[in-house]
Structure 1
Amino acid sequence: MSVPDTWSMCLLEDVVEVHDELRQPVNAEERSQRVGEYPYYGATGQVGWIDDYLMDGEYILLGEDGAPFLDPTKPKAYRVEGKTWVNNHAHVLRGIEGLLTNRFLLHALNCTDYREFANGTTRLKLTQGAMRRIPLSVPPLPEQHRIVEKIEELFSDLDAGVASLERAKANLKRYRASVLKSAVEGRLTEEWRKEHPQTEDGPILLDRILRERREKWEKDQLAQFKKKGKEPPKNWQSKYEEPAAPGTSELAELPAGWVWATVEQVASNDDWAITDGPFGSNLKTEHYTSCGPLVIRLQNIGDGYFKRDDAHISDEHFAGLQRHAVVHNDIVVAMLGEALPRACLVPEEIPPAIVKADCVKVTVNGTACIPAFLMRVLNSQPTRRRSSLHIAGVGRPRMNLQKLRPLPIPLPPFAEQEQIVALVEERLSQIDSAEKTIDSELIRAKRLRQSILKTAFEGKLVPQNPNDEPASVLLERITTRGGQEQPKNTTKARKYAALRLKGGRA
């Protein structure tokens, strides 16, 4: 890389003080008993608070391990000041006074290519030895100040733009939720209802599907008696189990022509219309293969959309798990994690597949409820608010199958369901398009940030001043007088750290 003549190419160790002797890790259990007023830092930033400090001043912390070394859009270094504590996952650096400013060092480290210096198989690590060999282009000291001032001016403008984009994205998220809320509460189709009176309203629709459900059960029972050559026993119809009905005492009033139903009431009358995935030995790690039928897992279930992240089992194993199989337009529901229930439709192009544990498939009675409508109802805020009463677990919220079956859902006439689905899809499509535009702009902002740094460290961001003392002259003068090199023996520093740990003062 070409830089101005007044700049000098150095190794990092030539222009910084390395203060790794000040680092001291404290495990999470001990920190929980020592919470205090001082920030506790790790590889990528603050990770907690502690009751004492080891450093007092301005330092640059550079990740040793756990930092995003291969992602040029993410910072690997950050600045701290005041009384602080840092663990052993970050290097502690400070520019040599009069030669390198800390703020210039910070931006330089966040523009560095670490591919030749960070190594490791599962977790990249930047050793102190490798860090010391990182090359650094050092401009004259006054130019460093001008560069930093310009970078921070441009970054401030960029940050303001990013904040505006993030606010717009948050507003879209709220708008998405409000669209679903108005849809499931009947406000979205309020005008439509006035112009389209229905001959089969929600209550009539629900009565019909419950009647048809019972009739099918009785027909199947009679067929089984006949097949066995037996006469139906007395009161055999009394063994029929009605699907769970909603308790409506605490439910909101619905628009005219709507009725409260449950997930089970609008599900298909098939034996395994609502079922969760196989547990235990029925589906183990060794059952997974490189190809074959899919296993739909939690990571496949987006909030209203299906995410491809394929896992497979063999055709033979799939044949034994048919009760868990899904088909196009089945609803798959995540029962573990945040924002429950979380549901999406099984797409048309999906190959043979089953659901995994903590996922539920719902096959909908297509004459009673449109699958896309039920999916949107499950993802709406009113449904999630009702579901929250039945969710267990703090760290990993979980909802079980027995709570999903009787979950209350609003049921409008079938034609109105169609209209709701069409209106919701139209609005959500507009939101999706706006979100994609915002995401593109956010990516562009990250790239622009890197472009600013690249331009700065090529010497092209601010003009050079011929009156500035060249960095080479300054470096030579500091080197000649002994500079501010750190002593190889860090015993004194380690004793200082030990005193701090014991609550004393150096």
Structure 2
Amino acid sequence: DFYFKLTAQWREENKDKLETPEQLLARIKQEREARYEQQLQEWKAAVKEWEESGKSGKRPARSRMPKPVSTMAEEEISHLESLPSGWLWLTAESVGIVQLGRQRSPKNRSKDYPTKYIRAANITEQGLDLDDVLDMDFLPHELSAYRLEKGDLVLSEASGSAAQVGKPAIWDDQIPNCCFQNTVIRHQPYCRDYAVYLLWLYRFLYVSGKFAQVAGGVGINHLSAFKFAQIALPLCSLAEQQEIVRLLEERFAAIEQQEREIDSALNQAEMLRQSILKKAFTGQLVPQDPRDEPASVLLERIKAEREKAAQNNHSKKTRKKKTTA
């Protein structure tokens, strides 16, 4: 239902805003080529910096030419839902760059170039938790390969529970020059405007268990960059993506407001329960009659009755002993 039913009416009313699959592919190809040219420039700069620093560490690897962008073959999508006109199935690697982060090891402990990085533990169902961000060494020429950029999608790659694999979040440049570990998969969309739509899509794939179905491993479940790159994504025109995001944000905001109201009502009910109990045991629950005996008199009467009862029990025990003798 996430894919297209949410905007069925909108599509009928906004046909002039829809892109054809050909236009959609052309947009992605154009953005991909521009991104590859940028990567080449970054690689050349990284190589120069590596050489100037005495060739410390590995020589920066040249970015690979991205695979051609094309729609998925019929046999690859035969088990998937049929999409409406203007939509198409594309693999994650066709939509953006899929990359695993840097492995943490003793040799990469923070020493000369301590750099903040996020790991799977920083990705929660509510978004990124940056209260506990660790650091390790990233050489200057390595930053271009692992530095997070605004709009990057980050997903937990591994977890002891398959249900926790693929937990997504979006990077908003909260920490300058922050990188990422190999327990995190980064998906960098060629079209940056697609990022928020993809975030919502990944949330759906996560909560529906789709990522869990793809993950594998013994003890630790891994999504893996390769498996993620092959996942089929339903894509539509940018205008429809933006409408989907608007509707989802509107509905989830309403749900959150209802949750807050329910929590408030539960808190009020608990306070009322405590107040009633307090009144019940402090004589405030029912109207007081001035003719009722005071509490001090009541206590004295109870004390006298207890003493009388104790004396009666003592007398009975004494008579019983005499009779037995």
TM-score (norm 2): 0.64
Report the Cα offset of residue 256 of structure 1. 0.7
Structure 2: how far apart are the matches of 1:216 and 1:426?
A: 32
Pick the aligned partner of 1:205 from 24, 48, 60: 24
Structure 2: how far apart are the matches of 1:450 and 1:339?
A: 39
Contact 1:278/1:324 (8 A) holds in 2:
no
| Deviation sequence 1:161-209 (CA, Å, 0-9, x none) | xxxxxxxxxxxxxxxxxxxx43xx2112222222233574234422553
Relative to structure 1, is the Cα distance of residues 257 and 438 closer, same or farther in structure 2, using a 3 angstrom cutoff?
same
Contact 2:154/2:185 (8 A) holds in 1:
yes
SS of equivalent to 1:437: helix
Contact 1:243/1:264 (8 A) holds in 2:
no
Structure 2: how far apart are the matches of 1:477 and 1:399?
A: 80
Contact 1:276/1:324 (8 A) holds in 2:
yes
Deviates more, 1:335-344 or 1:403-412: 335-344
Report the Cα offset of residue 302 of structure 1. 3.5
Report the Cα offset of residue 294 of structure 1. 4.5
Pick the aligned partner of 1:332 from 154, 159, 164: 154
Pick the aligned partner of 1:274 from 81, 99, 118: 99
Relative to structure 1, is the Cα distance of residues 328 and 447 closer, same or farther in structure 2, using a 3 angstrom cutoff?
farther
Corresponding position of 1:440? 264
Deviates more, 1:211-220 or 1:351-360: 211-220
Report the Cα offset of residue 435 of structure 1. 2.1
Report the Cα offset of residue 349 of structure 1. 4.3
Structure 1: how far apart are the matches of 2:149 and 2:215?
A: 27
Contact 2:153/2:195 (8 A) holds in 1:
yes
Structure 1: how far apart are the matches of 2:281 and 2:141?
A: 62
SS of equivalent to 2:77: coil
Report the Cα offset of residue 265 of structure 1. 1.3
The yes-or-no answer on 1:196 pairing with 2:18 is: no
Identical counterparts, % of pairs: 26
Contact 1:306/1:347 (8 A) holds in 2:
no
Contact 1:340/1:384 (8 A) holds in 2:
no
Deviates more, 1:417-426 or 1:371-380: 417-426
Aligned positions, number = 276
TM-score (norm 1): 0.44
Report the Cα offset of residue 251 of structure 1. 1.3
| Deviation sequence 1:447-502 (CA, Å, 0-9, x none) | 44444455555564568986997497488899998xxxxxxxxxxxxxxxxxxxxx
Relative to structure 1, is the Cα distance of residues 392 and 476 closer, same or farther in structure 2, using a 3 angstrom cutoff?
farther
Q: Equivalences for 1:186-335 in 2 at 5 Å?
A: 186-194=4-12, 195-198=14-17, 200-210=19-29, 213=32, 242=67, 246=72, 247-268=76-97, 274-276=99-101, 278-281=103-106, 287=110, 294-303=116-125, 305-313=127-135, 322=143, 323-335=145-157
Q: Equivalences for 1:34-433 in 2 at 5 Å?
A: 181-182=1-2, 185-194=3-12, 195-198=14-17, 200-210=19-29, 213=32, 242=67, 246=72, 247-268=76-97, 274-276=99-101, 278-281=103-106, 287=110, 294-303=116-125, 305-313=127-135, 322=143, 323-335=145-157, 336=159, 337=161, 338=163, 340-366=165-191, 370-381=194-205, 384-392=208-216, 398-433=222-257
Contact 1:276/1:357 (8 A) holds in 2:
yes
Report the Cα offset of residue 365 of structure 1. 1.2
Structure 2: how far apart are the matches of 1:326 and 1:199?
A: 32
Structure 2: how far apart are the matches of 1:219 and 1:359?
A: 23
Report the Cα offset of residue 255 of structure 1. 1.2
SS of equivalent to 1:326: coil
Q: Which blocks of at least 5 consecutive residues in structure 2 are unaligned?
A: 48-63, 314-325
Q: Which blocks of at least 5 consecutive residues in structure 1 are unaligned?
A: 1-180, 228-238, 482-506
Relative to structure 1, is the Cα distance of residues 321 and 467 closer, same or farther in structure 2, using a 3 angstrom cutoff?
farther
Relative to structure 1, is the Cα distance of residues 334 and 382 closer, same or farther in structure 2, using a 3 angstrom cutoff?
closer
Larger radius of gyration: 2
Q: Which amino acid aligns with 1:306?
A: L
Q: Which amino acid aligns with 1:258?
A: W
Contact 2:155/2:184 (8 A) holds in 1:
yes
